[in-house]
Chain A
Amino acid sequence: MSSFETVIGLEIHAQLATKTKIFSSASTAFGAAPNSQANLVDLGYPGVLPVLNLEAVRMATKFGLAIGATVSQRSVFARKNYFYPDLPKGYQISQYEKPIVEKGRMDILLEDGSVKTVGITRAHLEEDAGKSLHEDFQGFSGIDLNRAGTPLLEIVSEPDMRSAKEAIAYLKKIHTLVRYLEICDGNMQEGSFRCDANVSVRPVGQEKFGTRCEIKNLNSFRFIEKAINYEVARQIDIIEGGGTIRQETRLYDPDRGETRALRSKEEANDYRYFPDPDLLPVAIDTAFIDAVRRTLPELPDEKAARYIEKFSLSAYDAGVLTASREMADYYEAVLAALGAGQEKLAANWVMGELSGALNKDGIEVTASRVDAGRLAGLLKRIVDETISGKIAKEVFESMWAEDKDADAIIESKGLKQITDTGAIEKVIDEIMAANPKQLADYRSGKDKLFGFFVGQVMKVTGGKANPAQVNDLLKRKLAG
């Protein structure tokens, strides 16, 4: 195995979050009754003509700027010709020779902490096809054209990735980015974010790429990783067995966890691309590009760099917190309410307790049961030593369960930290009196028993005694 190197390139289809379709005024909303969101243009009726949705151009431009790409001032729509019942016109309008976005890049963080740059060859605009439904029609196929004409941005990477892990890291970065840019909702179940993977292997040290296979139907990060790993193993097996790889399109079957051949290169369609005479070349000027540039939000990488530099967070923490715009927004809202100096504390809580609770309930941060303001209210009580970090976790659990502020819970449950030296001393005295043997052992050199006394104090005070004070006082008293 180790003598082979894996080469992966990804083609991502991101559905653009426009209100209407790329060439018609029909709605793009998901989940409507079949064929209720397809107008005459989407149905490919005789005589109808496409009219480009400027919003799709704006979104593609935004993406191009965000990946440091060249945004072409003149791009051309072409027709990709093939017959299929869910392709009403008999051709798909796409961009072929002159895409709107060319030569971008995306940095990914590898497991060893190093950064790798993945090249993005191009990103082009195109329309989606409809859906064929093969069940439920007894000998017929159903066609739902609601999705026909939905705008897609196809993002094509260079074959720069060398493992499934790298491919996933890249995919997740793009997934994060398109949601930051608010150009795609990233919903993989609904097919808003899909991916095809081109996979090949070659002996380590060989410059020439091996023959690649394209894997289709990858709609979750988990499946993509599994599919790539399966495919890599399959190809190595064939080569080691003396065989050769056939260039073909393969379909991933998530139930069996394997890929199987769909069609070979020879069976591939000749799409007879040519410029669509119904659409003029898309001409955009620098003023348009500059206007789009001004709408760019702080990008994930910029945000992470700021967290590392200004908040002294680790690269890993910064990466986790900026993985979604919503998470970063939440984090920054906590910071805003908490005040400067507590960035690390806030980061630990957002990545720890909060993320854990969100995962457990399977909800997004935007639907969190504890909003940023309430979490900040809790963290303030740690900062001012009203409660310890441990008690805070208990308070958080209550906050998650019921819509109350930290202070109200601390109050009603009497969780306020004991910082009164006299009260703590009194507890210590009682414990020392009740445990003469342990005291004697400690004093004769068994230092480890210190932990026992701390435990006893916390037990008696219900964990509310200020830990630092308990330490100080115990050390003094036990010493005698």
Chain B
Amino acid sequence: MTELHHQTLAELAAGLKARRFSSVELTRHFLSRIERFNPELNALVTITGEQALAAAAKADQQLAAGAGGPLTGLPIAHKDIFCTDGVLTTCGSKMLSNFVAPYDATIVEKLSQAGVISLGKANMDEFAMGSSNETSFFGPVKNPWDLKKVPGGSSGGSAAVVAARMAPASTGTDTGGSIRQPAALTSLTGIKPTYGRVSRYGMIAFASSLDQAGTLTQSAEDAALLLGAMAGFDPRDSTSVDTPVPDYTATLDQPLAGLKIGLLKEFFEKGLDEANGKLVRDALKVYEAMGAKLVEVSLPNLPLSVPTYYVVAPAECSSNLSRFDGVRFGYRCEKPVDLLDLYKRSRGEGFGAEVKRRIMTGTYVLSAGYYDAYYLKAQKIRRLIANDFERAFGEVDVLIGPTSPTPAFDIGAKVDDPITMYLNDIYTIGANLAGLPAMSIPCGFLGGLPVGLQIIGPHFGEAKLLNVAHRYQRETQWHREIPQAYR
């Protein structure tokens, strides 16, 4: 039998159904890998072994009774941004380092009801603010492909845990690229669905109008499985959309002949590493061989997406993070002398530098006298960017380009230079601003480090994205690569 950790979710699901192994065996296998590898990778901040084994035993009973769904008994890891009832939920911050959530996020609840087992909570950039997982209060996560490199962020723990096969899949969130960029940097398949496709209830907010939950998996097929169970309208989230969830697995194999792929002119211009760009072009040749047509399209306002994002996201975060005041939950400073002291020190000591930087930026752009010049203008540009995308999708079915300008960089290389760090998100932010679904899939290696291919679709075009990704993964084997040390 193939090693359990070499199998995709889909393969493991088939194995469980055929009773080739039990959920308890599967869970034990991954828990032992976590025990072995997590100390060097720092991918998980909380490991819920006992609860996982109890849930696995329950799943086995269901499976034995012939009950259970397609995901029953499969273990995964949750990004520590999702509230998990009775389990520490830190959001990578000192502020919540003592916070045991009193409820389950909707996606946690949905997956748990589908029989999915949670192995633990994945490390992340503090409050999902970062592109390298270096802003976590619990220390940086290492990239399994090279321990000196970052795994990307903010879902860096979610990426590393799957890349090192300590879990077959994980959940993540993506506000400006936080699923796709780490997926690219660790050779995984990551999907950020359409804004409103997945409930945000119970997901600790960074920038409410951009945040969206998704998955990090070994394949598009796995993403289809997992996303199908997470997606759907939630009456507790007013921004979730009440539109049926298709069976994403049903359309994975549709042929791509005649598919119109848009190449974003702006993505292939300055900033893209040349060798990185060549891998993307190689991938496009694979699509051409399958009968797809390449069309160059231009999104003239797209180059404004980074500054636009760094107005909108901090503005929302400055307000979203006001609730962390030391009064009702989370970190509280020692012996506050009065209310102002309580606020100042609890927040001053509880938040890290990057979070503070964004709160201050956000507070500034919303201030009287600056609102019109920054926030309002950014919202207008956001609309223009969304219009650009809409126009493009009038001509093409999907847009394809790079996910990240470079492969994984060294830990510490960019921490002192926030602007360079922010530019990492240059290709991914557009989809968030426009609320579009987007994926990253592995398309090769550069100096031993993975490179990702980004696919962006129209609103609620997840099925098409997964189909486009899956057909590529039938033609190539990049997504089956596992770092040497974790095979």
Interface residues of A (CB under 8 A from B): 40, 43-52, 79, 81, 83, 85, 88-91, 141, 143, 270, 272-274, 277-280
CA distance A91 to B325 in the complex (A): 12
Q: Which residues of A contact B91 (CB under 8 A)?
A: 46
8 Å CB contact of B202 from A47, A141, A279: A47
Across the interface, name the chain A residue whose C-beta is closest to B322.
Answer: A90
Q: Which residues of A contact B99 (CB under 8 A)?
A: 46
A46–B83 CB distance below 8 A: yes
A277–B208 CB distance below 8 A: yes
| Segment 182-238 of B: residues with Cβ below 8 Å from A | 200-205, 207-209, 235-238
B260 to chain A, nearest CB (A): 32
Q: Please classify the interface of chain A as helix (H, G, I), strand (E, B), loop, or mixed, using the class held by over half of its residues.
A: loop
Across the interface, name the chain A residue whose C-beta is closest to B327.
Answer: A85
Besides A47-B201, A52-B238, A278-B205, 10 new A-B residue pairs in contact (Cβ under 8 A), listed by A number: A51-B238, A89-B322, A90-B325, A270-B368, A272-B318, A272-B367, A274-B315, A278-B239, A279-B238, A280-B238
Q: Which residues of B contact A43 (CB under 8 A)?
A: 328
CA distance A279 to B240 in the complex (A): 10
Q: Which residues of B contact A51 (CB under 8 A)?
A: 235-238
CA distance A46 to B325 in the complex (A): 12
**In the complex, the 10 A-B pairs of residues with the closest C-beta atoms, listed nearest first:** A90-B322, A272-B366, A277-B209, A277-B208, A47-B202, A44-B323, A46-B204, A47-B83, A89-B323, A47-B204
A91–B329 CB distance below 8 A: no
CA distance A266 to B18 in the complex (A): 73
B96–A46 CB distance below 8 A: yes
A272–B319 CB distance below 8 A: yes
CA distance A51 to B202 in the complex (A): 14
8 Å CB contact of B375 from A50, A88, A274, A280: A274
Does B105 belong to the interface (CB within 8 Å)?
yes
Q: Which residues of B contact A89 (CB under 8 A)?
A: 322-323
A44–B83 CB distance below 8 A: no
Does B316 belong to the interface (CB within 8 Å)?
yes
Does B406 belong to the interface (CB within 8 Å)?
no
CA distance A40 to B102 in the complex (A): 9
Across the interface, name the chain A residue whose C-beta is closest to B347.
Answer: A83
What total of A-B pairs shows CB separation below 8 Å? 99
CA distance A51 to B199 in the complex (A): 13
CA distance A50 to B323 in the complex (A): 14
Q: Which residues of A contact B368 (CB under 8 A)?
A: 270, 272
Q: Which residues of B contact A143 (CB under 8 A)?
A: 327
A74 to chain B, nearest CB (A): 15
**With A40-B103, A274-B366 as given contacts, are A49 and B236 in contact (CB-CB < 8 Å)?**
yes
A278–B329 CB distance below 8 A: no
A90–B238 CB distance below 8 A: no
8 Å CB contact of B201 from A49, A90, A277: A49
| Segment 367-412 of B: residues with Cβ below 8 Å from A | 367-368, 371, 375
B291 to chain A, nearest CB (A): 40
CA distance A91 to B318 in the complex (A): 11
A81–B204 CB distance below 8 A: no
Across the interface, name the chain A residue whose C-beta is closest to B234.
Answer: A49
24 A-B pairs whose Cβ atoms sit less than 8 Å apart in the complex? A44-B328, A45-B103, A45-B328, A46-B83, A46-B101, A46-B330, A47-B101, A47-B105, A47-B202, A48-B201, A48-B202, A81-B322, A81-B366, A88-B327, A91-B322, A143-B327, A270-B368, A272-B318, A272-B319, A272-B363, A272-B368, A277-B207, A277-B239, A277-B316
**With A46-B204, A89-B322 as given contacts, are A83 and B96 in contact (CB-CB < 8 Å)?**
no
| Segment 308-335 of B: residues with Cβ below 8 Å from A | 315-316, 318-319, 321-325, 327-330
**With A40-B102, A274-B315, A277-B209 as given contacts, are A46 and B323 in contact (CB-CB < 8 Å)?**
yes
Q: Which residues of B contact A277 (CB under 8 A)?
A: 207-209, 239, 316
CA distance A75 to B339 in the complex (A): 35
CA distance A161 to B343 in the complex (A): 42
Q: Which residues of A contact B203 (CB under 8 A)?
A: 47
Does B89 belong to the interface (CB within 8 Å)?
yes
Q: Which residues of A contact B375 (CB under 8 A)?
A: 274
B319–A91 CB distance below 8 A: yes
Interface string of B454-482 (1 = CB under 8 A from A): 00000000000000000000000000000
Q: Which residues of B contact A44 (CB under 8 A)?
A: 323, 328
CA distance A435 to B339 in the complex (A): 88
B375 to chain A, nearest CB (A): 6
Across the interface, name the chain B residue whose C-beta is closest to A143.
Answer: B327
Q: Which residues of B contact A279 (CB under 8 A)?
A: 238-239
CA distance A47 to B105 in the complex (A): 8
B395 to chain A, nearest CB (A): 29
| Segment 353-372 of B: residues with Cβ below 8 Å from A | 363, 366-368, 371
Q: Which residues of A contact B328 (CB under 8 A)?
A: 43-45, 88
B366–A280 CB distance below 8 A: no
8 Å CB contact of A274 from B201, B323, B327, B371: B371
A92 to chain B, nearest CB (A): 11
CA distance A48 to B323 in the complex (A): 11
A256 to chain B, nearest CB (A): 26
CA distance A284 to B318 in the complex (A): 30
A55 to chain B, nearest CB (A): 15
B124 to chain A, nearest CB (A): 14
CA distance A143 to B325 in the complex (A): 14
**With A40-B102, A47-B204 as given contacts, are A88 and B366 in contact (CB-CB < 8 Å)?**
no
Across the interface, name the chain A residue whose C-beta is closest to B375.
Answer: A274
B346 to chain A, nearest CB (A): 11
B458 to chain A, nearest CB (A): 20
Across the interface, name the chain A residue whose C-beta is closest to B366.
Answer: A272
A283 to chain B, nearest CB (A): 12
Q: Which residues of A contact B235 (CB under 8 A)?
A: 51
CA distance A91 to B236 in the complex (A): 20
B89–A45 CB distance below 8 A: no
CA distance A43 to B323 in the complex (A): 9
Across the interface, name the chain B residue whose C-beta is closest to A145.
Answer: B328
Q: Which residues of B contact A141 (CB under 8 A)?
A: 339
Interface string of B73-114 (1 = CB under 8 A from A): 000000000110000010100001001011101000000000
CA distance A37 to B201 in the complex (A): 21
Q: Which residues of A contact B82 (CB under 8 A)?
A: 47
Across the interface, name the chain A residue whose C-beta is closest to B202.
Answer: A47
Q: Which residues of A contact B89 (CB under 8 A)?
A: 46
Q: Which residues of B contact A270 (CB under 8 A)?
A: 367-368
CA distance A277 to B319 in the complex (A): 11
B366 to chain A, nearest CB (A): 4
